Amino acid sequence: MGKLPSLKNLSYLLALHQQQNFNRAAAACNVSQSTLSSGIQNLEEQLGCQLIERDHKSFLFTAIGEEIVEQARNIITSTEELVHYAKGHGNILEGPVRLGIIPTIAPFVVGALSKRVQQNYPKLSLQLAEDTTNNLLNALRDGDLDILLLALPMDIQGNQKWTLGRDPFKLVAHKSIADKLGEPVDYDMLPDGSIFLLEKEHCLTGHAVSACQLTDTVKVNPFTATSLHSLVQMADARGGATFMSQMAIDHGILDNTDLIPLKPSGQEASRDIGLVYRATTSRRQTFRKIAEEIATLLPINTLS
């Protein structure tokens, strides 16, 4: 059995990969540049292969170097989890948990969730981050976040998930056109350009469109909103319609508007809400507890 590389050197490699610069990486590790440099060389020697290509000024990670970084990340985060577990004396329900949530879910769960967690697991400190699905998945991979609350179906890469529940879609329409639409809604009765959607980055757009089998793109207004709240405002002001999640409606997003929720057509007009975590985590039990808390807050709880 050959000697194993040190975790320290592996963490130097990770920092270097993140910073793409020896000085900044060294600073991030609180060591000198020379230490980090020789650490990397040391690593290459031990592993018997070149991790970075030096071209006398800058450098590039080799293909195998990238792969090694990936594996090293797992090792480091696993070890951090071990330390965290030990420091908490085996009490898995204490310490920080970093939860990322997409913007079309966050506003409707963070309040109640942090209250419940605070109450049921007072030693657990839930740290929240709001971002798009892609950014959240990157942060999960890098170990910057522990769990993600996402809308499914979604490519969650090498990660694992629990499906917590379902969030039905409603078509909400201005009262001036609502009574012509029927239930389930006949999209043909909508004026052209009367449907407002979120910008494409938000997966709710795609989920709603496919779940509700909306095919006639002429109905869609090209002006897109960046948040559910402004979406509602726009549909209300312009006398149009939009898709809205039940969760948002339950939280009063339609209050003080003239929008009316209607049953959309399409067989299963809803999105699944799932909690995603690294396959390699050792804190599955902790995250499961949080999953249970979140599930109770969803319109339809399907956590088994």
Partner DNA sequence: AAATTTTAATCCGATTTACCGATTATCATA
Partner DNA sequence: TATGATAATCGGTAAATCGGATTAAAATTT
Sole window of 18-26, 62-70, 163-171, 289-297 interacting with a copy of itself (rule: CB under 8 A) = 62-70
Nearest residue to 99 (alpha-carbon basis) of 82, 114, 88: 114
Which does residue 78 bind out of DNA, a copy of itself, none, counting CB within 5 to 8 angstroms by kind? a copy of itself
The answer to whether 143 and 115 are in contact (CB under 8 A) is no
State the burial class of residue 298 (Cβ atoms within 10 Å of its Cβ: 0-12, 13-18, 19+): buried
Q: How far apart are CA 90 and CA 281, in angstroms?
A: 15
Among 71, 118, 120, 230, binds a copy of itself (CB under 8 A): 71
123 binds a copy of itself (CB under 8 A): no
Dihedral sign (CA 16, 19, 23, 28):
negative
State the burial class of residue 63 (Cβ atoms within 10 Å of its Cβ: 0-12, 13-18, 19+): exposed
Question: Which residue is listed with tokens 């031990």?
Answer: 46
We find the least distance from the C-beta atom of residue 285 to a copy of itself, in angstroms, to be 11
State the burial class of residue 290 (Cβ atoms within 10 Å of its Cβ: 0-12, 13-18, 19+): buried
**Binding residues for a copy of itself restricted to 254-283, rule: CB under 8 A:** 279-280, 282
60 binds a copy of itself (CB under 8 A): no
Among 37, 62, 79, 301, binds DNA (CB under 7 A): 37
Contacts with 6 (C-beta within 8 Å, 6 or more apart), sequence order: none
We find the least distance from the C-beta atom of residue 17 to a copy of itself, in angstroms, to be 14
The contact pattern for DNA, residues 49-88, with x = CB under 7 A and - = no contact, is: ---x-x-xxxx-----------------------------
Q: How far apart are CA 85 and CA 43, in angstroms?
A: 28
Nearer to a copy of itself, 48 or 222 (CB): 48
42 binds a copy of itself (CB under 8 A): no
Among 18, 33, 227, 282, binds DNA (CB under 7 A): 33
Which does residue 5 bind out of DNA, a copy of itself, none, counting CB within 5 to 8 angstroms by kind? a copy of itself
Among 30, 119, 215, 256, binds DNA (CB under 7 A): 30
Among 10, 14, 17, 39, binds DNA (CB under 7 A): 39
The string of DSSP letters for 231-270 reads: HHHHHHHTT-EEEEEHHHHHTTTTTTS-EEEE--SSTT-E
Which does residue 49 bind out of a copy of itself, DNA, none, counting CB within 5 to 8 angstroms by kind? a copy of itself
23 binds DNA (CB under 7 A): yes
Residue 167: beta bridge partners?
271
Q: How far apart are CA 200 and CA 44, in angstroms?
A: 43
The span from the first CA to the last CA of the chain, in angstroms, equals 44
Residues that bind DNA (CB under 7 A): 6, 8-9, 21-23, 30-35, 37-42, 52, 54, 56-59
Residues that bind a copy of itself (CB under 8 A): 1-2, 4-8, 11, 46-49, 63-64, 67-68, 71-72, 74-76, 78-83, 85-87, 89-90, 279-280, 282
